[in-house]
Structure 1
Amino acid sequence: MEQAFNMFEQAVNFANDLLWQEILIGLLIIAGLYFSVTSKFVQFRWLKIMFSSLGEKRAKMPDGSKGISSFQAFTISAAQRIGTANIAGVATAIVVGGPGAVFWMWVVALLGAGTAFFEATLAQVYKVRDKESGFRGGPAYYMTKGLNQKGIGYIFAVLMTITFGIVFVMLQSNTIANAYDEAFGVNTAVSGIVVAIVVAIVIFGGAKSIANVATAIVPVMAALYLILVTVILVMNYDMIFPMLQKIVVNAFGIEEVFGGAVGAAIINGFQRGLLSNEAGMGSAPNAAASAAVRHPVQQGLIQSLGVYFDTTIVCTATAIVILMYTDLSFGADAPQGIAVTQAAMDQQFFGFGGTIIAVFILLFAFSTILGNYFYAQSNLSFIVDNKTVTFVFRAIVVIMTAVGAVLGVQLVWTLADLFMAFLAIINLMMVVALSPLVFELMRDYKEQKDRGESPIFFAKNISYKLPDDNEWGDDDYRMDDPEDYNK
């Protein structure tokens, strides 16, 4: 049994290294540059519009109820991004790839902001009505409805279901278990069972209970975490510039080049950056599609701004705190993940920082498990909408929550990287194929903005042919006030 498990781990490592080193890093750069150049760097050029779009009026859902506003959509997506990837993932990137890995996370964010704009905009265009939550959509929908690639759409939906319903769920429970083992000495198996029981109670309660729990927990904890990190940075303000300098020097230093550390920094920076901001992976579009906005571009701008907030602010602040830790060690054999962040926080808060982080991680990772389940369930419904299948799938999610807690940290992160690679490779190619549609939508949005109007999209306003059942006809979309059509 042990030999078989070792062979499995070796196979996962081999496949992961192959996909990332030979395919995905290059694809992320090329696709990111393509989206940036062809859109004339929309992620920088429309930065002012991104902020102004936060004040856009809210639209109505299909049932006539008020949808969430642009600002609410931003705060929810931003809060969801603050979690395991920002707290434990940044630590893993630094330990394995060195401080220079943070620089490459910045690169992923700058390019990824453009990618996020394209994929979120497409998700809005091809969204469909959902009886329970208003709208749903994502890559599987724009692959099938936009490119008529049903086979690829179903393959992607299967991968999304496995990745978010099994692999990422294991990653979150593993982080919770290790955090409580580090802080309180709680057995990882015990933590896994407890978390699995609570997850079962919530997900068998349906999507509404998921939304209620996640909405209540995440924004408050995200704000508290940012306050905590800000306090540390203010207390150590004289260390901020030296740490930033260390990040840049380590990314390009002569010693790192000859020691092979630059390669490790690039790989780990890209891996943790992708997991953190999700730009290009195809996960964020599932959430983007559920928002009620008056123009697809509006949601693209919101998601693009979220990438900046996540990586350039939250991840950077966390990285500086970790780099201040005087006992930090590097290399594949060094302590990784949440234990490193806890140790760094302990040093700043007189031995109590690790306990504080354990509480944060419990709530962040738990809410992320619920969010992951939502993504997985949405894609499972795309494949087959059957109550029995849904029940079995929920049971599998609960079981894998418990299993993930007892697996090795490195194996769980490698599995996450591997499945991220599968998703990103497929999604990026499909988004590139649909990019001409986004260019038309940008033109339509900007023309209305230039006329001083609040942009509203109708399918008839562009030459690109959308499916007959699109949600952007004259009678499909409603605002709070019909007068808005004339403003």
Structure 2
Amino acid sequence: MEALQNFFEWLGGYVWGLPLLILLGGTAIYLTLRLAFLQVTMLPMALKQAFSPPKAHHHDHEGDISHFSALMTALSATIGTGNIAGVATAIVSGGPGAVFWMWITAFFGMATKYGEAVLAVKYRVTNEKGEMSGGPMYYIERGLNMKWMAVLFAVFGVLASFGIGSSVQANSVAQAIQTSFDINPWITGVALTILTGIVVLGGIQSISKASSYIVPFMAIVYVAGGLAIICLHFDKVGPAISLICRSAFGLDAMVGATIGMAVRYGVARGVFSNESGMGSAPIAAAAAKTDHPSRQALVSMTGTFLDTIVVCSITGIVLVIGGLYQTSSESGAALTTHTFNDLLPGPGGWLVTFGLIFFAYSTILGWCYYGEKCASYLGGERIVPIYRIIYVVSVLLGAGVNLGLVWAASDVFNGLMAVPNLIALLLMSNVIVAETKDFIMKRRSGELP
């Protein structure tokens, strides 16, 4: 296991090297400029669209689920261990400055998430079951006529689903429950496996319904707890934010991490958390009922804002205020749990534990949908039941696997998954811009509400 972990860490160093960071950042900045900072100018409308109840005429639009359900399915897969354990590992490895680079990644990544969703809805297809199928594999094939690159994305997507989707989540939950309740990880694995199997067998309707209940409830509870800590220690918030900004550029002598480490871990964990550029979220966006690709794309864009700018920021600021990352040998969820418990004795630790359980479980559900869509692209609908069985088993196995190995492998597959998707976004940026202009013009003329 140690040799395999070392291999994935070595490979991850290359995958997440300068070329991918440039590709991720360059694509996000390029789309931001071409879309005239749409993530700022149209964010209010996007948030209103995301949380407004569906209107009666929306039921006539093509798609399987509502805007809100599509957003919750995407958020179920993004708001997970990355928001709790991922932020902690980023700070431990890259210093407080990693939080700053997570913010930068999220801000520009909103344009990337928007672009992905535009293409996903525009090039989606109806599968053998009459359901919508879409995502990078479809827009790469249908928009660029590059079947080989679409296949590569789908293969990496399936592999990534077993890492970021099932194993990482199950492992983090098992470790958190063992720390809090001294329950054997394998027992937790069995329970998660059963609960996962019950929901995923129902497909997107079942997954989106479960996500629509779990994600809003737990996100509100977790954010409220984090804000309570920030309010109780408000005098430390300013210094904490100052430290984050200074260490992001190597201006704090007390922080051992270099600028390079802050950037690498901030970007890697930021992408792990909000998945902008990876090509996963547009798979859920493609299932939404919508009258225009850009409308659902705006809703999808809010996912990055809520995930990183809101939830990850709260975790990061609380961790920097607590300062345990400097003295403790802990990392991941355990560090976040103990920090919350120190700053909010009593409910703090429980809040993180239960937040991690619910966030991770919803992520397991969301990524099963992503993975099965990639699998069905490769082998047709007949392969979906087989994929679901393997996925559910991977939840059980992930609960007892070494955490370092799981994280290292996940980083590699996440990076490999992003490459073909980012290339497609750059090559199809004209389509994204054209669809955006069309949406704005139709709204101005009254053709669209």
In the superposition, the TM-score normalised over structure 2's length comes to 0.92
Are 1:285 and 2:264 counterparts? no
When structure 1 is superposed on structure 2, of 157-166 and 89-98 the one drifting more is 157-166
Letter aligned with residue 412 of structure 1: V
Q: Against the structure 1 CA distance between its residues 404 and 67, is the aligned structure 2 distance closer, same or farther, given a 3 Å change threshold?
A: closer
Aligned to 1:11: 7
Aligned-partner Cα distance in 2 for 1:73–1:231: 30
Aligned-partner Cα distance in 1 for 2:417–2:64: 33
Instruction: Confirm or deny: 8 A CA contact 2:163 2:410 kept in the other structure.
Output: no
Letter aligned with residue 167 of structure 2: M
Aligned-partner Cα distance in 2 for 1:385–1:62: 27
Q: C-alpha deviations, 1:441-478, integer Å up to 9, x for none? A: 12211222333x253xxxxxxxxxxxxxxxxxxxxxxx
Instruction: Confirm or deny: 8 A CA contact 1:59 1:67 kept in the other structure.
Output: no
* Offset of residue 82 of structure 1: 2.5
Aligned-partner Cα distance in 2 for 1:405–1:78: 22
Are 1:149 and 2:131 counterparts? no
Aligned to 1:408: 402
* Offset of residue 166 of structure 1: 4.7
Partner SS state of residue 293, structure 1: coil
When structure 1 is superposed on structure 2, of 426-435 and 199-208 the one drifting more is 199-208
* Offset of residue 321 of structure 1: 1.3
Letter aligned with residue 100 of structure 2: F
Instruction: Confirm or deny: 8 A CA contact 2:73 2:208 kept in the other structure.
Output: no
Aligned to 1:450: 444
Aligned-partner Cα distance in 2 for 1:71–1:39: 24
Q: C-alpha deviations, 1:327-371, integer Å up to 9, x for none? A: 33379xx32111011101111332442233222211211111111
Aligned-partner Cα distance in 2 for 1:375–1:307: 17
Aligned to 2:377: 382
Q: Against the structure 1 CA distance between its residues 230 and 64, is the aligned structure 2 distance closer, same or farther, given a 3 Å change threshold?
A: same
Aligned to 1:50: 46
Letter aligned with residue 189 of structure 1: W
Aligned to 1:99: 96
Aligned to 1:483: none
When structure 1 is superposed on structure 2, of 300-309 and 279-288 the one drifting more is 300-309
Aligned-partner Cα distance in 2 for 1:52–1:187: 44
- Of 18, 24, 27, the match for 1:28: 24
* Offset of residue 277 of structure 1: 1.1
Partner SS state of residue 126, structure 2: strand
Aligned-partner Cα distance in 2 for 1:21–1:283: 21
Aligned-partner Cα distance in 2 for 1:160–1:348: 39
Aligned to 1:359: 354
Q: C-alpha deviations, 1:240-283, integer Å up to 9, x for none? A: 21211111011123356995521111111001100111110000
Aligned-partner Cα distance in 2 for 1:133–1:94: 45
Number of equivalences? 447
Aligned to 1:108: 105
* Offset of residue 47 of structure 1: 3.1
Aligned-partner Cα distance in 1 for 2:214–2:47: 25
Partner SS state of residue 254, structure 1: coil
Identity of aligned pairs, percent? Answer: 32
Instruction: Confirm or deny: 8 A CA contact 2:201 2:388 kept in the other structure.
Output: yes
Aligned-partner Cα distance in 2 for 1:199–1:297: 32
Q: Against the structure 1 CA distance between its residues 449 and 257, is the aligned structure 2 distance closer, same or farther, given a 3 Å change threshold?
A: farther
Letter aligned with residue 92 of structure 1: T
Are 1:348 and 2:330 counterparts? no
- Of 286, 308, 312, the match for 1:311: 308
Q: C-alpha deviations, 1:422-443, integer Å up to 9, x for none? A: 0111100011111111111122
- Looking at CA atoms only, which structure, 1 or 2, has the larger radius of gyration? 1
* Offset of residue 120 of structure 1: 0.8
Partner SS state of residue 328, structure 1: helix
Letter aligned with residue 118 of structure 1: G
Q: C-alpha deviations, 1:133-159, integer Å up to 9, x for none? A: 742210011011111111211221121
Aligned residue runs from structure 1 range 414-425, under 5 A: 414-425=408-419
Q: Against the structure 1 CA distance between its residues 53 and 193, is the aligned structure 2 distance closer, same or farther, given a 3 Å change threshold?
A: closer
Aligned to 1:269: 266
* Offset of residue 119 of structure 1: 0.8
In the superposition, the TM-score normalised over structure 1's length comes to 0.85
Are 1:372 and 2:358 counterparts? no
Aligned to 2:425: 431
Q: Against the structure 1 CA distance between its residues 367 and 149, is the aligned structure 2 distance closer, same or farther, given a 3 Å change threshold?
A: same
Partner SS state of residue 17, structure 2: helix
* Offset of residue 310 of structure 1: 1.7
Instruction: Confirm or deny: 8 A CA contact 1:109 1:307 kept in the other structure.
Output: yes
- The two structures, once aligned, show a CA RMSD in angstroms of 2.5
When structure 1 is superposed on structure 2, of 22-31 and 107-116 the one drifting more is 22-31
When structure 1 is superposed on structure 2, of 222-231 and 281-290 the one drifting more is 222-231
Partner SS state of residue 124, structure 1: helix
Aligned to 1:393: 387
Aligned-partner Cα distance in 1 for 2:109–2:190: 36
* Offset of residue 67 of structure 1: 5.0
Aligned-partner Cα distance in 2 for 1:421–1:135: 26
Aligned-partner Cα distance in 2 for 1:280–1:66: 24
- Higher helix fraction (1 or 2): 2
Consecutive unaligned residues in structure 2, runs of 5 or more: none
Q: Against the structure 1 CA distance between its residues 18 and 311, is the aligned structure 2 distance closer, same or farther, given a 3 Å change threshold?
A: same
